[in-house]
């Protein structure tokens, strides 16, 4: 890597932080579920919306990942950020299930374009600087900034919603994303020569049909070759992500009033959650230095299961601590699985593999959403959290069995 390239890659660091800063001031997230209830949605309808989001993401993740690997990642990231702005504008016009569903389809398009792109740009930037070994540490600091901003936006959002109404938060959430999209266009990304998997050519060189055929050929190559050793970690990260992002982050705010919290206090819960999420990135780097991946994954899974069971029986304000600590432990998994995958991913298909990882998570999110929605609708909201604990318990058993069989095979091969 030339010294000039290393210096230009270094300039990406500040820009990536600036993108995160502009993207962090989303005031709508803290009251998103309460807003949907005010507009007439039920818990089961929310779960169907999440399923629609997940299915759309499953269909788009891999094509968007291939697009980012063949086109420039910064263009795809910028486009995704711009499209995500529409989520808040469309939400303001949503008063029925079909409009909310359409909003989430558009959001899924933007999120699929963004998915895995920031992480891949981070890794390639550090690789270009000769510091790829510090990926988890940098990712931890990035998450620290991201969640600190989300926590501050949550506190402000709680007060804003209480004083000016829930819709005001959506108006105020539309300013940062366009700025982030513009900054993304200034990122340094050198031209890449794609070999062995084919090259997507321009319209003058190749027909659209041939391009699609090449995309499909490369997708099959990734699925059959570079991806296979990563599947166990993807499945583990997928089930954790499905429960964490599909249910705990998205639905838990509906449980706050049942514990006695006012809307103006939601922001403080959000701040506490964002603080532990930020710390989880730093904790992941420390855990990686001291323990093996199997020990970390099994330990985090077991602790999360216990806390979810405790929260499913919560009846007092102080028991919100079970949820917050559980989120902290489950958030710790993300940088570990991401780092594991990025280190072993083929440079030519880095975003594609990240997109397949997201597909796994979204597919599992749809399944967990159905289970949570059915349990909550039939037995009450907190029973939904209990169903997630049972699901993780079953998954944890399979994970432990996988590592046991792997250890036995390694022992016999010696």
Which residue reads 């594991």 in tokens?
340
Sign of CA dihedral 383, 387, 393, 399: negative
Alpha-carbon gap, residue 265 to 253, rounded angstroms: 11
Q: To the nearest 10°, the Cα dihedral for 115, 117, 120, 121?
A: -150
Rounded alpha-carbon distances, angstroms, from residue 329 to 314, 342, 360: 19, 21, 20
Q: For residue 180, give both structure tokens.
A: 């982030």
Which residue reads 């993300």 in tokens?
334
Which residue reads 């020990």 in tokens?
295
**Which 3 state secondary structure label does DSSP give 130?**
coil
**Nearest C-alpha neighbor of 281 from the set 147, 87, 184:** 147
Q: Is 74 exposed, middle or buried (0-12, 13-18, 19+ CB in 10 A)?
A: buried
Cβ-based neighbours of 295, under 8 Å, separated by 6 or more? none
Alpha-carbon gap, residue 40 to 258, rounded angstroms: 19
Cβ-based neighbours of 240, under 8 Å, separated by 6 or more? 300, 301, 304, 330, 333, 334, 337, 392
Alpha-carbon gap, residue 38 to 100, rounded angstroms: 13
Cβ-based neighbours of 273, under 8 Å, separated by 6 or more? 151, 154, 249, 324, 327
* Tens digits of pLDDT across the chain (414 residues): 456 677 788 888 999 999 999 988 999 988 888 898 889 888 788 888 888 887 887 788 777 777 777 778 888 899 999 998 898 999 999 999 999 999 999 998 988 888 778 878 888 888 888 887 777 778 778 877 887 888 888 888 888 988 898 999 999 998 889 999 999 999 988 765 444 444 434 333 344 455 455 555 555 555 555 566 677 777 888 889 889 887 888 788 888 888 988 877 887 888 888 788 878 877 887 888 888 888 888 899 899 999 999 999 999 999 999 999 999 999 898 878 877 776 766 666 666 676 677 777 877 887 888 888 889 888 888 999 999 999 999 988 887 887 777 777 777 766
Q: How far apart are the first and last CA of the chain?
A: 39
Contact 66, 352 (CB under 8 A): yes
**Which 3 state secondary structure label does DSSP give 288?**
helix
Q: What's residue 64's pLDDT?
A: 76
Give the H/E segment covering residue 46. helix 43-70
Q: For residue 119, give both structure tokens.
A: 């992480």
Q: What's residue 370's pLDDT?
A: 84
Q: For residue 354, give both structure tokens.
A: 């990240």
Q: What's residue 199's pLDDT?
A: 43
Alpha-carbon gap, residue 345 to 227, rounded angstroms: 8
Q: What structural domains and CATH numbers belong to the chain?
A: 3-189+207-413 (1.20.1250.20)
């Amino acid at each position: 890597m030339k010294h000039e390239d290393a210096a230009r890659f270094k300039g990406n660091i500040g820009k990536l932080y600036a993108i995160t800063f502009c993207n962090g001031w989303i005031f709508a997230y803290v009251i998103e579920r309460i807003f949907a209830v005010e507009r007439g949605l039920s818990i089961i309808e929310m779960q169907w919306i999440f399923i629609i989001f997940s299915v759309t993401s499953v269909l788009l993740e891999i094509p968007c990942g291939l697009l980012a690997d063949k086109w420039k990642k910064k263009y795809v990231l910028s486009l995704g950020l711009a499209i995500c702005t529409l989520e808040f504008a469309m939400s303001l016009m949503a008063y029925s299930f079909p409009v909310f569903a359409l909003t989430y389809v558009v959001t899924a398009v933007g999120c699929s374009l963004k998915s895995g792109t920031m992480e891949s740009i981070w890794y390639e930037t550090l690789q270009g600087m000769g510091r790829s070994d510090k990926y988890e540490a940098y990712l931890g600091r990035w998450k620290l900034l991201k969640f600190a901003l989300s926590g501050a936006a949550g506190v402000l959002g709680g007060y804003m919603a209480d004083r000016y109404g829930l819709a005001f938060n959506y108006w105020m959430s539309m300013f940062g994303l366009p700025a982030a999209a513009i900054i993304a266009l200034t990122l340094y990304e050198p031209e890449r020569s794609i070999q062995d998997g084919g090259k997507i050519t321009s319209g003058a060189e190749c027909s659209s049909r041939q391009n699609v055929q090449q995309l499909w050929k490369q997708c099959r190559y990734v699925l059959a070759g570079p991806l296979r050793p990563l599947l166990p970690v993807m499945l583990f990260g997928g089930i954790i992500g499905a429960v964490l992002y599909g249910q705990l982050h998205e639905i838990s705010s509906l449980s706050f009033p049942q514990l006695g919290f006012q809307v103006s206090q939601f922001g403080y819960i959000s701040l506490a959650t964002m603080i532990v999420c930020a710390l989880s990135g730093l904790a992941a780097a420390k855990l990686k230095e001291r323990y093996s991946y199997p020990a970390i994954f099994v330990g985090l899974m077991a602790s999360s299961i216990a806390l979810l069971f405790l929260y499913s029986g919560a009846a007092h304000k102080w028991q919100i601590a079970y949820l917050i600590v559980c989120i902290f432990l489950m958030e710790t998994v993300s940088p570990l699985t991401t780092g594991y995958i990025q280190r072993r991913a083929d440079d030519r298909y880095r975003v594609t593999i990240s997109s397949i990882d997201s597909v796994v998570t979204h597919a599992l999110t749809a399944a967990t959403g159905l289970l949570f929605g059915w349990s909550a609708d039939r037995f009450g909201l907190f029973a939904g959290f209990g169903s997630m604990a049972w699901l993780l318990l079953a998954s944890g058993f399979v994970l432990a069995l996988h590592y046991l069989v792997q250890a036995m095979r390694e022992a016999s091969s010696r």
